[in-house]
Amino acid sequence: MLVKWMRCNVTDRRGFERGQRKWAGLLGEPGFRGQGGGWSQAREGVAHLFGFWESRALYDSFMARSHDRLAAAQAGTYTGMRIRLFEHVHDVKVGFEPRFGDADLLRVAHTRVKPDRVENFTLMQEKVWNPAMAGSPGMLRGFFGRAPGDEFLVLSMWDSATERAKYRIERVERLGLRAQTSSDVAALAGDVIDVEGAWTV
């Protein structure tokens, strides 16, 4: 499975949200699995969207055929869209499905890993971080993906901000020490996103 992560600086919120509803046209596209997203809690006017496809080939076919027609509805409502594509490596928890209807909150972590530490980083994600997140109350499911090179994405879905807060702070620091995260990571960025139900396709 392929995930497309889109981050936009929105300049016309009402127009952007109106245009977002037009993406319902994705339904029926060969290989399309689901799309959703919402607003950043930390950055005013920043929207995140995550689209899921069965394969890169089916995604490329959609981009060549239908994308521009659907995207036209949002033209002029944002600046500086940033797009990244990640291939599925493994689930966080089990049985990941690209559903957003039961999630209140998304957490995205975008990591660039030192080239000689990729193997350890991937192993620690599976052996340390995954079980910790999977056992956290309110954590629904997640996706661990990799882009070409040393770039990784962890997307997790949560059923409330309160539950996610229980997972944070000292527990994250403890897990980071155990997983040797500081030795693996060259750069780390992330965000917490309030899900907008009307954007779900």
Name the residue range of residue 123's domain.
Answer: 2-199
Percent of the chain scoring above 70 in pLDDT? 88
Give the mean pLDDT of the chain. 87
pLDDT of residue 95: 80
Number of separate domains in the chain: 1
> For the domain that residue 111 is a member of, what is the CATH number?
3.30.70.100
Q: CB-based contacts of 32: which residues, under 8 Å, 6+ apart?
A: 26, 51, 52, 53, 54, 58, 62, 201
- pLDDT (tens digit per residue) in 23-73: 999 999 999 999 999 999 999 999 999 999 999 999 999 999 999 999 999
List the alpha helices (DSSP H) in 25-139.
56-65, 67-71, 118-124, 130-134
